[in-house]
Chains A and B, each alone.
Chain A
């Protein structure tokens, strides 16, 4: 593939990583989501900035990634989840989301804009990840593989080709965004 050489060039990838991070952090800060008040506003359902950004990113990203996949330019990188990992981990993450008021990406952008509480939060995230790594062998034996999901992707689960699912999801997202606007968010 045309991009194989670049993809396996470790030095170039580190440079690209910094560059992609800078663009991402710039966008997060400009979007206002590097702010505790905006994130809590979303979780209190009074400010829908986070959902608007996420849904637009999913819409645009999904169409591009699936078009490139059809053209043989990219591979998907989905992981198989399970009730024990995805649902329980998701709930713990959600609790942290509300208590910290930033997420792993937006916390870094918030530190860049001067939020010192986000820096403490980043240290916390490292500690939490470290605790998980210590617990990992035990969790892997007991809970992480409980209730493994039957498929990696939604098209696989439904047995319908992505070609048909992508437009449906796109229409649903546009519908939700339109509805949010219409009811005054």
Chain B
């Protein structure tokens, strides 16, 4: 049993099934699908509120997505803790600034990678809110409810992702 928790990786099918069962439970106990990107919009709203409460309260988007530390916000904190527990138990926790694949192509300059990650994050935050969800909210929770928008969204996540990844690293399959 304990070897399970200290194993470096689990089969993707076990992990996928686990996420599926987790979503049954979030529907049952919280009446909500599992998603991550809303938490980032709430955080942005908290920053706006800290700068000017009046301005933040007047913004239509934060009337829809309220900047409060609720279920949807705290879940991302939980994900971070869960990722730490898993990595720590398997001895995989280690500080990393440049992932191996990136380093192999562009070198080990941590500032370059940070700049690229920041740009990628900005695009991702903008796109996730534009599309109304991310790889968890649309990609898993929405598709499993057979939501039409979620299936369209996940297809375009991958179209955009495959095209841009190919532009960065070359199209390996060609």
Contact = CB atoms under 8 A, between A and B. Distances in A.
Contact of B149 (A54, A55, A78): A78
A129 to B, nearest CB: 4
A149 B156 CA distance: 15
A96 B101 CA distance: 17
A27 B16 CA distance: 8
Contacts of B146: 62, 78, 153-155, 162, 165-166, 169
Nearest to A153: B146
A182 interface: no
Contact of B141 (A43, A52, A61): A61
Contact of B99 (A32, A93, A117, A132): A117
Contact of B85 (A26, A65, A87, A94): A26
Nearest to B164: A98
Most buried by B among A10, A81, A109, A129: A129
A130 interface: yes
Nearest to A110: B83
Chain B interface bracket (under 10, 10 to 19, 20 to 34, 35 or more): 35 or more
A109 B82 contact: yes
Contact of A40 (B27, B69, B165): B165
Contacts of A154: 146-148, 151
A149 B148 contact: yes
Interface in A64-104: 64-65, 68, 73-82, 85-101, 103-104
A21 B76 contact: yes
B153 A86 contact: yes
B150 to A, nearest CB: 7
A-side binding surface: helix, strand, loop or mixed? Answer: helix
A184 interface: no
A81 B128 contact: no
A31 B9 contact: yes
Interface in B133-174: 133-136, 139-166, 168-169, 171-173
B25 A20 contact: yes
A126 B44 contact: yes
Most buried by A among B28, B73, B144: B144
A28 B155 CA distance: 21
B18 to A, nearest CB: 5
A5 B32 CA distance: 15
28 contacts: A17-B70, A22-B85, A25-B84, A30-B7, A31-B15, A44-B165, A44-B166, A46-B173, A62-B20, A62-B146, A68-B24, A68-B28, A73-B28, A88-B131, A96-B126, A99-B120, A100-B116, A103-B136, A108-B80, A108-B83, A113-B83, A116-B97, A124-B118, A126-B121, A127-B122, A128-B40, A129-B125, A165-B146
Query: Can you list the 3 inter-chain pairs with the closest CB atoms, starting with the nearest?
Result: A21-B78, A124-B121, A94-B160
